[in-house]
Amino acid sequence: MSISIGIHDLSFATGEFVLAHTALAAHNGTDIGKYHVGIGQESMSVPAADEDIVTLGAAAAAPVIARHGASRIRTVIFATESSIDQAKAAGVYVHSLLGLPSAVRVVELKQACYGATAALQFAVGLVRRDPAQQVLVIASDVSKYELDSPGEATQGAAAVAMLVGVDPALVRIEDPSGVFTADVMDFWRPNYRDEALVDGQESVNAYLQAVEGTWKDYSEQGGRSLDEFAAFCYHQPFTKMAYKAHRHLLNTCGHDTDQDRVARDLGLTTAYNRVIGNSYTASVYLGLAALLDQADDLGGRPVAFLSYGSGSVAEFFAGTVAAGYRDHLRTKEHRAAIERRTPVDYAGYRALHEQRLPTDGSDHATPAQSTGPYRLAGISGHKRIYETR
């Protein structure tokens, strides 16, 4: 008899500040409908000067450790595409901040926005090998584009932490998966750049190609039929992309793409992304959090996941929602994380966007702007210094 493995707990954190798209539209002289309707975004999280992927990741994971302890965690997998170091995994800093045992392996995974799904699948494999173990998966990113660029309105920042183990309280991850890879230059960030480069139309086309490719492989591997799924969680670089992707999948399968069908399939999954913005690796799992926090009882129902990472790698897989999952949700905490953000005007956002850490190895203290449990205190001798509040 096969064992049940999946997401036992899920928690997320987001940045200290929030920029409303109305403020961005006023600065750009843009009709707000371009943002609210055109890309489906209302606001975006902006990290404080003393926040980064480590502080966000640790803040997301801390409630998971507080609830379950760390005695069974043997592996931490940190997925990001906004890495802070070419050698040291960001998860090692998180390991220290959370006070995890030394008998833990920590690694960082990278493949654009797909990385967290790779981490989740690798975690399932590790638990299958040793069901006594649990794996902590952290997806943490700060999405950053050049000021006044087409991508600026899709920025965001968030981290999701997932505890993976046997007999999961939230979602059991199913076999099989449909996978797809194609070498395309739709989005990339060379080592010498802080901001990503993106070819918008190529990225949309590459995403839709990946939707087709993953579904074809999933079907050939003996996966579920499209009509079995209660909901679909897509990667959301902006929420309208999820709708475009789902209509494309329905068309590919010869299904109706009427508005009610599409809204029923994924409407609830976009609530958090719509106000947080693109969180890269965390995005599809913010979609899951939004679905579980809002939906009527989904216990026993299958949910589809489409994870896409530019460049490009994608995966389509299914998960069955556990009976009684509502007793284990963090709905109140998730909504508080969004509501606690401090609004900034365009000038305040721009100042945060333009701030850079020194690269000369000098001592530099970061302004104490954040109010979360962890902060980046500064840099000294090219070393990042973190503090616990």
**Contact (CB, 8 A) for 262 and 240:** no
The CATH number that applies at residue 95 is: 3.40.47.10
SS3 letters for 205-262? HHHHHHHHHHHHHHHHCCCCCHHHCCEEEECCCCHHHHHHHHHHHHHHCCCCCCHHHH
- Count Cβ atoms below 10 Å from residue 221 Cβ, excluding itself: 14
- pLDDT for 1-13, tens place per residue? 689 999 999 999 9
- What residues pair up with 137 in beta bridges, in sequence order? 77, 162
Q: What share of the chain is helix, strand, coil (3-state, %, to 5)?
A: 40, 25, 35
Q: Return phi, psi of residue 19, to 5°.
A: -110, 120
Which stretch of DSSP H or E encloses residue 276? helix 271-276
For this structure, is 233 an active site residue? no
- State how far the Cα of 321 lies from the Cα of 338, in Å rounded to an integer: 24
pTM metric for this prediction: 0.97
What residue type is 99 in one-letter code? G
Question: Within 280-354, where are the H helices?
Answer: 283-294, 331-339, 346-354
For this structure, is 364 an active site residue? no
Identify the active-site residue in 8, 21, 51, 81.
81
C-alpha distances in Å from residue 58, one per residue of 25, 124, 130, 333: 33, 22, 25, 15
- What residues pair up with 157 in beta bridges, in sequence order? 142
Which stretch of DSSP H or E encloses residue 18? strand 17-20
- pLDDT for 166-221, tens place per residue? 999 999 999 999 999 999 999 999 999 888 888 888 989 999 999 999 999 999 99
For this structure, is 113 an active site residue? yes
In this predicted structure, what is the pLDDT of residue 2? 80
In which residue ranges of the chain is pLDDT below 50? none
What radius of gyration do the chain's Cα atoms show?
A: 20
| Residue range(s) defining the domain that contains residue 369 | 5-388
Supply the angle between the helices 283-294 and 331-339 in degrees, to the nearest 10: 120
Identify the active-site residue in 235, 246, 334, 353.
235
Query: Token match 């050698």: residue?
Result: 87
- State how far the Cα of 243 lies from the Cα of 236, in Å rounded to an integer: 9
In this predicted structure, what is the pLDDT of residue 1? 60
Identify the active-site residue in 21, 51, 113, 233.
113
In 3D, which of 346, 383, 267, 261 has the Cα closest to residue 44? 346
Our count of domains for the chain comes to: 1
- State how far the Cα of 139 lies from the Cα of 73, in Å rounded to an integer: 17
